[in-house]
Structures are given as structure tokens and as C-alpha cells.
A and B are shown apart, each in its own frame.
Chain A
Amino acid sequence: MNVPPEIEEFLKKEGVILLIRGLPGTGKTIFSLTLMKNMKNSVYITTEKVFKDIERSYPWIDNKDRKRIFVLDGKYKYENSESFKSIFYLFPESFRYALNLVEKGRVNTIIIDSWHTILEEMKYKEIEERERREIYDPERFFLNLIKLSDMGVNIIIAKEGIEEDELSYVADGVVTLHKMLENGRMEREITIDKLRGVKIKRSEYVFSLKDGKAHTLVSSSFMHPRTLKEFPKKEIKIGRGIPSCVFDEVITFKRGDTVFYDFEEYVPGEYHLSIIMSTLANFLKNGIKSLVIPPNDMDTNELKYQIYLFSLEKELNYLNVLYNEQEMEDFITYVDMRKDTLENLVKIYLESSTATPLVILGYDRLYSYLTSNELMQFVDFLRNEIRKRSGILIISGKISEKGIKRFCAGLSDIYLKVNNVNGNVIMYGIKPWTHMYHLDLSTEEGYPKILMEEIL
């Protein structure tokens, strides 16, 4: 999705003014160009300097698009306008040309990038004072734009700064672009402040400027697949990194690694489960024994559902789940969740397993049964036992006690944080350091799949 759906709906109206505001570097030009690209009946008016930058930096703006970009001071052939008679001469030439196109029905939206650069250019133009008063006076220019919108033309204005002013009061729609740094990583958001006549379902979106284009990002809710399809196996080979089948774009596991997924409390359970289940499914499909102490997000019903979703019926021989309730399934073993019982069961399991076993530890479940010290000792025990056998230990769950988190973070080789930011699921690596990624959950391919997009 390029632009939030509310903005798309808003721009289907006639005669609206949309203000896109933001501090320098927030992506106003890219956002405005994305709107121009989407709306074939729009023109873009900017200054020579911005135009050169567009030519240089945005290869996705092709020649056809460039023909719709008019430079403020450029010489354009225009005809006397009938429809816009009253205000026609009170605009610079590039606007007059654009108005001709509006009159011919080829254009219904004028995008101005940006308000201040255009006004500044007008201010310093070497022209007669009379002409400046008539055409290049900022207040008059502003009033003329309002008149244009009253005549049914849509006006989109990119403006520096986020303060409330005349423009934001008059505009029918106002959106603000923000960029923030979170632990040294870029995070971008778009806020919908107002869009008259449009129901705002969501007032904040995360967006990315990857490849110089605006991408609005949404973490979808889980949808059960229409038809289940086999989860595609990625081979686990000796001498190569081990795929997580989720974050392979940024991270590959090595034999003996301890991986710590630090999930914030409000991350939807489906995201948590799909992340750990994708790795587990791949291990099972490779015929590698795997042991799971499920996190709190995964009760046995949820576990069975995940087995169904990932089509793991044929691989159940390789799966062993330790759980605190009696169940009829052979792959679920009842355990009283005491530290010594757990350690004994893990030892038995590891002794019977092949090379590179996978152990997934839902540490938040154990937190209800063990003391903090016991839990840390058990994690340490697991790490050492698995490292000896070149396996992979994934510690995952939602826990708020900082001491345990710090302990797991300290002993892990890979440490990833997964947070919920205004309904969006965001992931970034602490060990190793990674950029911030937006996560989405899709089942279109017939099984749950986490989609990642880097936030740039």
C-alpha cells in the first residue's frame, strides 16, 4: 500500500485542499510524488532546484511522469482561460498552463511542492512591484488557490513545519509526517490530523521510504487460509547457516546459537506463534528432532491449530512438547514444571536426538512455576546442553521482569526485539544490530508467513 486508504478516499472528492506537512527530511516530496504517480490526472508544480533533485534521486519517476512536473519559472505555452477567467492572470505561468489542462479535463489535481520554497522564489523574483503585488503576493496566491479549489480543482500542498497556521485551518485535509529515532533506528509515521468528509479508521500509520518511494505499512490481522498449502522446506545443511524461515533477510542462525526473542506484551499472539512456528516447522520438515516448552501465547489447543496450519501431521514423530496438563496426543508429555524434572526430561530428549536439535523455550510459561533464580539456572543449563550438541535454543515469550530479560539478553548470541507500535508490529535486532523492520502476517500462500519491510 502506497498511501493510507483514508487519503486515497479523500482525494476522490472534488475541490479539496490537502496539506502534507512535516519537518525537513520527513518525506514530504516522496509522499507528494507518490500521490502524483498514483493519480494520473494530476500535475506537480515545484521549483527548479526540487525538480533537479527529483530527476537525480527518483528513477521511478519516468519521462511520462516528468512531463507532468512543471517548474515555477519555466516558460509554458498557455491559452486564455474561460473557466478560470477571474483568477487566471493572477498565477505564475506554470500554474496557468496547469489550469489550461484542468480546463481541457486532463487534470483535476495540482500538487505544490513545497509551499515555502515556492513563496521564497516568488519573494526574490526580479519583477516589478506591481506584478509582485498582483501575482506573487503570498496572501493573494493563497486566496487564489482557495478560489481554485472552490471551482472543483483538488490542491495538494507540501509544507515545511508542523505548526498550526492559516493553511492548516483552511485545508480540508491535514496530514503530518514524522520521523523518530528509536535506539538509533529510524521510525517513520504519518498522522492523519483531519480529512473532512472521510471516516478515519486509523489516524496513525507507519511508513517507509524504501527505494525512494512511500510505502504505508499495516500489520494485518490473522486470516485463516482459504486453502492450506504445504509449508516450503528450506534445507538445513552442514557447513551452512541455519534459516529461521522468518528473518532470513537479516539474520541466519549458527549451530550452537542461543536466540532470544523479546516480545513486547501487546504484540498479537499470532505474530509470536508464526515466528517461532516457522522455524520449528522447518526443523521438523528437515527431520530434525525438536523440543518445545510452549510460551503462554500457545496453549495446547493453539499448538494443535498451528500443527494444522503448518501441515505438520507427517512430522509429528520428530516433535516433543512438554506441557503442564495431561493431553491425549503422543507428542505432548505431561510435566510438573519443576526445575529438576525439566532438566531430566531435557537430558533424556537431547541424548536421543540427532545433530542440531532445536529447543524452543517459552520462558514466560516457566515464570509461573519457577522462581526467577531457578528460571535463570534452567536457561543456563539448556544453553550449555544445546551448545554441546550444536543445536539451536530459542527463548521466546512475553515477560516483564527486567532481571530475567537482561539475563537472557546477556547470554544470547542473537537478540531480537518485537514491539507493537500503534497497532503495527516492529522488529529490530540488538545482537546483531539491525535496522527497524515492519512485520505483516499473510496467509495468502496457504500457510502463515511473516512479511518484513525495512523502515528507511
Chain B
Amino acid sequence: MKRILLVEDSSLFYRFIRDVLKKDDVEIVWAKSGKEALEKFKKNTPNLVIVDIILSDMNGVELIRKLKEINKEAKVIVITGLDKDYVAEDAFEAGAEDYIVKNIPIKEFRDKIIHYLQD
């Protein structure tokens, strides 16, 4: 079973992602803040980390940098409601694999996650 660490302070989005991936063999570990994410990342060794840009204690780009400091090979993608090229560039520079804006069609969204899990 593959494991995803979802870093997102909105419970709505957590429920959404859980529904989208319910038929897939995936475990979702949910962290509501950057600090919680760092702890769960160390404990759970996820196959993929999904990060939102606006968290309650740090921004997503800062979190990616910290995750990469712990494990350079960590696979991180950004899924966010913040649709700005500048922020996407910051995220890629920090080491993100992809920058996905939340209004993407559900099927495409699921396919992308599965792709990163299999890759």
C-alpha cells in the first residue's frame, strides 16, 4: 500500500481527496500544519507528500525546503488554490515535482496523483 502525506489545514479538502482516492490502494496521513507535517513525515516515510501553499504556521514553499532537508529524495507536489506563476516558480525551486491548482478536473487530478505514486 502506498502512503500519501497530505498537508492541508482545510478538512473539506482532506475529505475531498479521501473520496477521490477511495478505490485506490492508498493510505492518507493528514497533517493540518507544517509542524505536524514534519513530525508525521519523519514517522511515516510517505511515498508522496501533497502540500498546500497557505498553511497555518508556515507557507508550503518553506515546508518543502524543510522536507527536502530531511530527505532529499522526498517526492512533493503542491495542490493549492493559489494560482500564481511566481509562487509555482518558488515551489519548483524548493524542489516540488508539480504545482496543481485546485480547480483541475477530478479525473485529471486523480491520474496525476496515481502517476506520482507509481513513478
Contact = CB atoms under 8 A, between A and B. Distances in A.
Nearest to A311: B59
B56 A304 contact: no
B98 interface: no
B26 interface: no
B81 A313 contact: no
A311 B102 CA distance: 21
A3 interface: no
A307 B60 CA distance: 12
A328 interface: yes
A308 B57 CA distance: 12
Interface string B60-81: 0100000000000000000011
Contacts of A300: 81
A305 B84 contact: yes
Interface string A149-181: 000000000000000000000000000000000
A236 B89 CA distance: 35
Nearest to A305: B84
A301 B103 CA distance: 12
A314 B81 contact: no
B63 to A, nearest CB: 10
B33 to A, nearest CB: 9
B83 interface: yes
B54 interface: yes
B57 A313 contact: yes
What is the interface residue range for chain A against chain B?
A: 10 to 19
Contacts of B87: 305, 308
Nearest to B33: A313
Contacts of B20: none
Contacts, number: 52
Interface string A315-328: 01100000000011
A446 to B, nearest CB: 12
A314 B34 CA distance: 11
A329 B82 contact: no
Interface in A268-312: 300-301, 304-305, 307-308, 311
A330 interface: yes
B1 interface: no
B45 interface: no
A123 interface: no
Interface in B71-118: 80-84, 86-87, 89-90, 102
B78 to A, nearest CB: 12
A367 B92 CA distance: 40
Contact of B54 (A224, A228, A307, A317): A307
B10 A305 contact: no
Interface string B3-45: 0000001101100000000000000000000000000000000
Most buried by A among B54, B57, B84, B89: B54
A308 B56 contact: no
A308 B51 CA distance: 14
Interface in A320-366: 327-330
B58 A328 contact: no
Contact of A328 (B55, B81, B83, B90): B81
B96 to A, nearest CB: 14
B6 to A, nearest CB: 13
A304 B55 contact: no
B53 interface: yes
B82 A301 contact: yes
A327 B80 CA distance: 12
A316 B10 CA distance: 13
Contact of A313 (B54, B83, B90): B54
Nearest to B83: A301
Contacts of A330: 9-10
A66 B12 CA distance: 72
B81 to A, nearest CB: 6
A301 B53 CA distance: 12
Given A328-B10, A330-B10, A305 B59 contact: no
Contacts of B89: 224
B46 to A, nearest CB: 22
Given A300-B81, A301-B84, A329 B59 contact: no
- A-B pairs with lowest CB-CB distance, top 8: A224-B86, A328-B10, A304-B82, A328-B12, A305-B84, A301-B83, A313-B59, A328-B13
26 contacts: A224-B86, A224-B90, A228-B90, A301-B82, A301-B84, A304-B53, A304-B81, A304-B82, A305-B82, A305-B86, A307-B54, A308-B53, A308-B59, A308-B82, A308-B84, A311-B59, A313-B55, A313-B56, A313-B57, A314-B57, A314-B58, A317-B56, A328-B10, A329-B9, A329-B10, A330-B10
Given A304-B54, A308-B82, 10 more contacts: A224-B86, A228-B59, A228-B61, A228-B90, A308-B84, A311-B59, A313-B54, A313-B56, A313-B58, A314-B56
